[in-house]
Every structure is written in C-alpha cells, then in structure tokens.
Amino acid sequence: MRLIFFGPPGSGKGTQAQLLSQRLGLAHISTGDILREAVRQDTPEGRLAKPYMSAGRLVPDSVVNEIVCSLFRKKDRPAHFVMDGYPRTIDQAEQFDEVLHEQGLALDGVLSLKVDDEELIRRLSGRGREDDSVDTVRKRLQIFHSLYQGLLDYYRKNGLLVEVPGSGEKEAVHQRLLQALDGKVKSS
C-alpha cells in the first residue's frame, strides 16, 4: 500500500503514521527525520537545510525533492510506504507524482487526520513547551491550514483524499484509519 499522511501539529500524525507502518509493513518515510539525520551527519543537503530548519521554515523544494527522488530512484526503493511530512507544497506534490509515475508506483490514498483547532490548541498548549503559548499555537495552526488547503484540494481532485476524524484514543483512531483505507482500496 502507498500512502501519504497529513495532519496538523498536535493531531498525532507521527504516531499514527508509525502505527500504520508497523501494522501494515510499510516503510515510514519522514522527510523531517531524513533532514535531521542529514544535519547531524553534516552532509551537503544537511548544510543547505540547517538554517531553514533552525528558523522553523520550510526547506526549499529543490532540496527536499532531490532527497525524495533519489530515495525512490534507488534499486532498493520503497515499494510500499507511508509518507509523513512530504509533500508539503504543490511543487513537491507534482514532483512526487512524477517520480512515482516514473517508477510505476501508484498512490492508494492520502489520509488527512482532522482535529478541531480548539482541541489542538488544548493539546499543544497543554504540553507546557515554552513556545506553545496559545497565541503561538494559533499562529502555527493558521500557517498549517493556509499551506495545506491547496495540497488537500490537489489530492481531492485526484480522488485520493480521505479525511478521518482524529479525536479519541490512539487505538480507536488507528482502527478508524484502517476502516477508511479498507473503503478506499475496495472502491478504487
């Protein structure tokens, strides 16, 4: 199965992507993890990405696309995967479509975890991190929504988008995602 996973900060996206990868035997591909590792190893990509990451900004599309494309062009490329944190822009989505097409890999679905902003604000500001004051959280969510609106529309148009409520216990959300996928795979 080949999936993209979207979800706002605080929605449990990372945890749910990991659960899906473990239980469905999919490679969990997180560009955030790949980039953090590149920075740690001080690779050329890591050196390019570092200032953007430290400033909390998106790393340029060219850098991230290159990382993802070379991963999918390797001989032992992942054939079944869940993408976590990529694509984040339309340019990335187009590039990803291109490389998947070139590799003969079709996406099965794009999962989007939906959680009310008020709930996210409660969860995030309750974590007690210094930057997680309610205003900062609200700002982060606004940025998230403005960025992802276009991406969600992109995949909605392709008929790949499945929106799943993300409230409740971890296991309940996981089961809901599996059910949504079941419907998706059967109907496609």
Q: Interface with ligand AMP includes 32 (CB under 6 A)?
A: yes
Which H or E element spans position 5? strand 2-6
Among 24, 27, 53, 178, binds ligand AMP (CB under 6 A): 53
- Count of residues binding ligand AMP (CB under 6 A)? 14
Residue 3: phi and psi, rounded to 5, are -130, 155
Q: Interface with ligand AMP includes 58 (CB under 6 A)?
A: yes
Distance in angstroms (rounded) separating the CA atoms of residues 77 and 161: 24
Per-residue x/- track, 69-98, ligand AMP (CB under 6 A): ----------------xx-x---x------
Min CB(107)–ligand AMP separation in Å: 16
Using alpha carbons, select from 49, 41, 38 the residue that is nearest to residue 71. 38
Distance in angstroms (rounded) separating the CA atoms of residues 99 and 91: 13
Binding site for ligand AMP (CB under 6 A): 31-32, 35, 52-53, 56-59, 64, 85-86, 88, 92
